[in-house]
Amino acid sequence: MKKKFTLIMYFLTFSAVFSQENTTSKPEDTEVWSPKPPIVIPSNESRAPSDAIVLLDGSSLSKWESTKDASGPKWILNSDSSMTILPGTGSIQTKEKFGDVQLHIEWKSPIELEKTGQNRGNSGVFLQKRYEVQVLDNNSNDTYSNGQVASIYKQSIPLAMASNKTGEWNSYDIIFHAPKFDPQGNRIKKGTITVLHNGILVQDHYELEGTTEYIGQPKKVAHGEDSLELQDHGSEVSYRNIWLRKLNE
């Protein structure tokens, strides 16, 4: 009987407290008014958001340099506001270095159906010059899955194949968070990459094992902010409308 009485009293006490909390709480008790997010004017199909750093708008290649030396890029600036790789002149990189970013970039493969596998429409978007999102023409062109279009090269197979027809423009929207290292150079947090290919989620917050290597395993060498690099792999791939937003400031 005593145990039953104790349980009844506990239930009545809990009910009273619960009822009191419900009657005294107000909606504004859980409203947060500060800080307020900054206002950013969204982009349309041809313009970058108001807080973006525009890396290519078709007017010049002034934001870029050759990876071979300190000279300007040898790639071709086209009348349609795009630029095209001039094979053999080397990859290019941004003069400015970046950490965590939201990147928008559009690319188009050339029509070179005589080539197959990794030789057709091959280029790459290298975040911090170390982590590659593959650019490749895989339309009716098979290759290894962790090296196909929209893969994190040799690390992560894309969740879908979302390419437009060969010769048409594609877009990548990439969210990149750089890896973190302690003062001794030990990695304490993996970097991550999310990729939308033509609006389709193809890499979902993938945790990088290290650098994306052509031969061998990923490397975990400490580094800081670095350039965005676009690869010359011998194909006349074109790029346009490149912009990014810094996420760590």
Give 202-246 pLDDT, tens digit per residue: 999 999 999 999 999 999 999 999 999 999 999 999 999 999 999
pTM for the full predicted model: 0.86
Residues of the chain with pLDDT > 70, as a percent, come to 89
Residues of the chain with pLDDT > 90, as a percent, come to 78
**Local structure of residue 24 (DSSP, 8 states):** H
- Other C-beta atoms closer than 10 Å to the C-beta of 157 total 15
The C-alpha R_g of the chain, in whole angstroms, comes to 25
- Element housing 175 (H / E): strand 169-177
Domains of the chain are 53-246 (2.60.120.560)
Give 129-157 pLDDT, tens digit per residue: 999 999 999 999 999 999 999 999 999 99
Residue 160 pLDDT greater than 50, yes or no: yes
Confidence at 18, pLDDT banded by 50, 70, 90: very low
Q: Determine the average pLDDT of the residues in 93-111.
A: 97
The per-residue pLDDT for 116 is: 97
Pick from 94, 128, 102, 98: nearest CA to 194: 102
- Could you tell me which residues come within 8 angstroms of residue 26 by beta carbon, excluding any fewer than 6 positions away? none
Is-contact 15 9, C-beta < 8 A?
A: no
